[in-house]
Structure 1
Amino acid sequence: MAGDEKRFKSAFDSLHALAYFAPEVDAALTGAGLRPGRMPYFAGRSAAMGAVGPEVVAATFYNFNPEVVARVIPRAWTLATPEQVLSARLDGVDRALTRLLGDHVKSDDVAEAADLAREATTGCSGEGRPLYAAHAGLGWPDQPHLVLWHAITLLREHRGDGHIAALVLNGLSGIEALVTHVATARGFTTATAKLTRGWSDEQWAAAEAGLADRGLLAPGDGLAEERGLTEEGVAVRDRVEIATEAAARGPWEHLGPERTSRLEELCRGLSRRVVEAGAFPDGVFNRRRT
């Protein structure tokens, strides 16, 4: 089931991630009082945990520079309560999905996918998964397209929490996870990773040097994606992926292969619709998790 889960993740990923790019969501969050920039992302995704401090957000988001998080959290909670942020986020997602899916937002496909995805979430476990557990504690929306989005949010955060556990188990800090992922040359470039995750040139260089000293990153002066991982570095990344897949099996084992396949089919078609409708800037889905 692990290979099926990984394939399925690629089918539904965009249906959740559009919340980080859609102008409707950004407008709703800034309309609730948040400042433009990074604040809507950090506050919008962490609000389910309540008015937590920057340490908690950095720990659960993992590969962002904690210094960047601290610039907007906890200030965000002085501008809008977590409850206001959650309400605005869902309203923005509602508007975004309605625009991107058009008349199809009320289709039988959306309703069926919502039912299947919600059922899959009953196979998730909250143990050791704080970001998933926080979102699982929220009430379910009423409309099928929002049920689908919320269910996929739960599935993504469930998988993400397990991925962080795998990184910790294999001795990779947040920035080291990012550097080793860049070194696979299958996602972020060095420039994009530093820019979007907020790491300075000095911090990045120190992480590269530490990984090279540990024998995980190939020696040299080039960019991480040019140098690549050593044999041991590849082995570490492989162990992370295997552990991540193993920890994410619960929802799909509960749903079973036939219904999982049907949900994949439905979500792939819906994902294609939102991408073709312009939900993301060019190249966004060449960027995979770390």
Structure 2
Amino acid sequence: MAGNEKQFKSAFDSLHALAYFAPEVDAALTGIGLRPGRMPYFAGRSAAMGPVGPEVVAATFYNFNPEVVARVIPRAWTLATPEQVLEARLDGVDKVLTRLLGDDTLKGEEVAEAAELAREASAGCTAEGRPLYAAHTALPWPEQPHLALWHALTLVREYRGDGHVAALVLNGLSGVEAVVTHVATGHGFTTDAAKLTRGWSDEQWAAAKAGLADRGILDAEGELTEAGVALRDRIEVATEAAATGPWDHLGPEKTARLEALCRDLTRQAVAAGAFPDGVFARRRA
């Protein structure tokens, strides 16, 4: 991958993920009947799979507490159909991108170019073993370039995410253990933020830490041991190895160009207040 890999992932991840922090998306989803809080996130991201149950959502999202998922799924599908959710979600994305980037940018040549390149990159993804990505491939492509760009980046992000889940499973980490070890790397959430956003109780967190310590992954202070650092490194290597399809397909020159376009758009969105303090460019657990 051309350029700085982490910087590029931050750029395209953030252009997709800004939807999770946007009041416009929440308003669109609550406007069709979903309840405020966690329901818009879980329903909005899983709707491409149809009216699935909490077990499927927890399995594909992986590091959220299944008990928290079950509080809003499948109830969400009694309030709005997945089709309504998907339509509202895209409407909210349209509104937030318009607010953050402005009509002139969205109608400009660079967004159209980025959309074309990102769509081409997404053609290098494969569906085998990638349930959340595969579900999104069945959705129609938006006609407007900025929405096509967001959809393409969603495909690439979920493709990578499915591969990351496979790496976590292969390396023997449960959902809560994935979050605990991610926090221990010092490169993402704080403990309090991880518990709050992923829905794990103090007791569940403590039990996971104790189990990881028994396995030699965490030390007595809750820091990664040498074996724990090696484990997280293996997970990252496996995740990246499984995520090269879009960029191999796109090629180095086009990838470098898409990197530059996404980086510029991300900077503009962040400067316009796309994210609350402390959440920009977080990496997956």
Q: TM-score, normalised by structure 2?
A: 0.98
> Which amino acid letter does the alignment assign opposite residue 99 of structure 1?
R
Offset of residue 14 of structure 1? 1.3
Cα distance in structure 2, aligned partners of 1:286 and 1:229: 22
Cα contact 2:213–2:219 (8 A) shared by 1 = yes
Residue 99 (structure 1) shift: 1.1
Corresponding residue number in structure 2 for 1:223: none
Superposed, 1:154-173 pairs within 5 Å as 154-173=155-174
1:262 aligns with 2:257: yes
Question: What is the CA deviation profile of residues 160-196 of structure 1, one whole-angstrom value per residue up to 9, with x for unaligned ones?
Answer: 0000000000000000000001111111111110011
Contact 1:24 1:95 in 2 (8 A): yes
CA distance in 2, matches of 1:5, 1:73: 35
1:60 and 1:3, CA in 2 relative to 1: closer, same or farther beyond 3 A?
farther
Correspondence for 1:152: 153
> Distance in 2 between the 1:42 and 1:186 partners?
25
CA contact (8 A) 1:188 1:286 kept: no
Tell whether 2:43 aligns with 1:43. Answer: yes
> What pairs up with 1:52-201 in 2 under 5 angstroms?
52-102=52-102, 103-201=104-202
Following superposition, the deviation at residue 287 of structure 1 comes to 3.0
1:232 to 206, 227, 231: 227
- Contact 1:5–1:249 (Cα < 8 Å) also in 2: no
Distance 2:247 2:283 in 1: 21
Deviations 1:41-85 (A, max 9, x none): 000000000000000000000000000000000000000000000
CA drift of 1:28 comes to 0.3
Indicate if the aligned counterparts of 2:119 and 2:152 stay in contact, CA closer than 8 A: yes
**Alpha-carbon distance in structure 2 between the residues aligned to 1:230 and 1:84:** 47
> Partner amino acid for 1:147?
A
* Partner Cα distance (2:196, 2:275) in 1: 18
- 149-158 vs 101-110, which deviates more? 101-110
Instruction: Report the Cα offset of residue 10 of structure 1.
Output: 1.4
After TM superposition, the structure 1 stretch with the greater mean CA deviation from structure 2, 5-14 or 168-177, is 5-14
The gaps in structure 2 that reach 5 residues or longer are: none
The change in CA–CA distance for 1:77 and 1:22 in structure 2 (over 3 A counts) is same
C-alpha distance 116-88 of structure 1, shift in aligned 2 (>3 A): same
Counterpart residue identity of residue 207, structure 1: A
Counterparts of 1:9-20 in structure 2, within 5 Å, are 9-20=9-20
Please state whether the residue corresponding to 1:271 is helix, strand or coil. helix
Q: Distance in 1 between matches of 2:159 and 2:2?
A: 14
Matched, 1:253 2:282: no
Map Cα deviations across residues 201-255 of structure 1 (whole Å, 9 max, x no partner). 00000000000000000113xxxxxx32000001110100000000000000000
Runs of 5+ unmatched residues, structure 1: 221-226
Instruction: Tell me how far apart the structure 1 counterparts of residues 145 and 96 of structure 2 sit (CA, whole Å).
Output: 14
8 Å contact 2:2–2:256 — kept in the other structure?
no
When the two chains are superposed, the root-mean-square deviation of aligned CA atoms in Å is 1.2
How many angstroms apart in 1 are the aligned matches of 2:263 and 2:110?
11
Distance in 1 (CA, whole Å) between partners of 2:136 and 2:44 is 11
- For the residues of structure 2 that align with 1:10 and 1:278, how far apart are their CA atoms? 16
Q: Show the 5 A alignment for 1:203-222.
A: 203-220=204-221
SS in 1 for 2:209: helix
Work out whether residues 51 and 77 of structure 1, in 8 Å CA contact, stay in contact via their aligned partners in 2: yes
Aligned residue type for 2:118:
A
Q: Which segment is superposed worse, 69-78 or 187-196?
A: 187-196
Conserved in 1, the CA contact under 8 Å of 2:112 and 2:146? yes
| In structure 2, distance between residues paired with 1:203 and 1:246 | 31
- Provide the secondary structure at the position in 2 that maps to 1:285: coil
2: CA distance between counterparts of 1:34 and 1:49? 17
